Amino acid sequence: MSGGIYLIQDNCRLVEMKEEPYESEDGLQKLLADYPSLLAGEQIDSAAPRRWLLVLREIAIPDSEDSAGRWALDHLFLDQDGIPTIVEVKRSSDTRIRREVVGQMLDYAANAVLYWSIEKIRAQFETNSNAE
């Protein structure tokens, strides 16, 4: 075997998994929302791997006190310690992936710290939980 990833099916047949690009960012976003364990929590802390709870997808980030939102973040998660984790999904074919996206994430984080109170995050979670 070549070190690939294999799946044993119900009939005991071994199937090699092949890497393929995502057709859309939305497909990966849905997977992350449904299966937050896809995020690499054990790489952050192997002794106490991060576990996440989805607060909301496509959450608005304001850029001032009175703003409803300037940007839309793909996912807001909370880890087991209540620390907000922002996740933005980009396909590897996105040519902006380095410089622009890092700047985008810094804008998101800086404004989230300023304009998201614990109460706002809690309200977003409760609204999302009640919608499901």
Digit-coded pLDDT (tens) for 60-83: 999 998 888 899 999 999 999 998
- Neighbour-count burial of 53, counting CB atoms closer than 10 A to its CB (0-12 exposed, 13-18 middle, 19+ buried): middle
Q: With respect to residue 103, please indicate whether it lies within any of the assigned structural domains.
A: yes
Q: With respect to residue 40, please indicate whether it lies within any of the assigned structural domains.
A: yes
Side chain identity at residue 49, one-letter code: P
Q: With respect to residue 3, please indicate whether it lies within any of the assigned structural domains.
A: no
Q: With respect to residue 6, please indicate whether it lies within any of the assigned structural domains.
A: no
The answer to pTM > 0.75 is yes
Q: With respect to residue 107, please indicate whether it lies within any of the assigned structural domains.
A: yes
Q: With respect to residue 17, please indicate whether it lies within any of the assigned structural domains.
A: no
Residue 2's pLDDT is 60
Q: What range does the domain containing 90 cover?
A: 23-131
Higher pLDDT, 3 or 76: 76
Distance CA(88)–CA(80), nearest Å, equals 20
Closest CA to 87 of 33, 22, 23: 33
- The mean pLDDT of the chain is 88
Question: For residue 101, what are the CA distances in angstroms to 16, 31, 34, 92?
Answer: 33, 21, 24, 12
Domains: count for the chain: 1
Q: With respect to residue 79, please indicate whether it lies within any of the assigned structural domains.
A: yes
Distance CA(131)–CA(125), nearest Å, equals 10
Q: With respect to residue 120, please indicate whether it lies within any of the assigned structural domains.
A: yes
